[in-house]
Amino acid sequence: MTTALVYQKVPVRDRDEMVCLTDMWRAAGGDRAKRAVNWIRSLATVEFIEHVATTLNVASCDIYATEAGRYGGTWAHWQVAMAYAKYLSPEFHAWCNEVVRARYERREPPAPTAVTMAAK
């Protein structure tokens, strides 16, 4: 079992190569205008998802999915999640660059910095 990703005391679920965009949105402050459903509709996002899918030689539905229900959410391949993090906020994006990327490169994340410690 892996250690949960946590930003500002908010857990961000991940499984396999996917990260929950809904959790990311909550952790980054929950700005309603920046919900994943809004971001995912932009042409640039659609093109990026298609590019990642092509690069990985999988269907788009294999790197982006929405699950209904109490424990559902919008899930995306970690590369797509990193792009969403950039959209959410510079601080959250920087955290993802360190922590999420480390998780998927299967290495230890760097020790918390003054910025990440202050965010908690």
* All domains in the chain, ordered by first residue: 11-119 (3.10.260)
**Residues 21, 81 contacting (CB under 8 angstroms):** yes
What pLDDT is stored for residue 110 in this prediction? 57
Instruction: Look at residue 103 in the predicted model and tell me its pLDDT.
Output: 80
Rounded to an integer, the average pLDDT of 44-65 is: 93
- Please state the pTM of the whole predicted model: 0.81
Could you give the percent of the chain with pLDDT greater than 90? Answer: 63
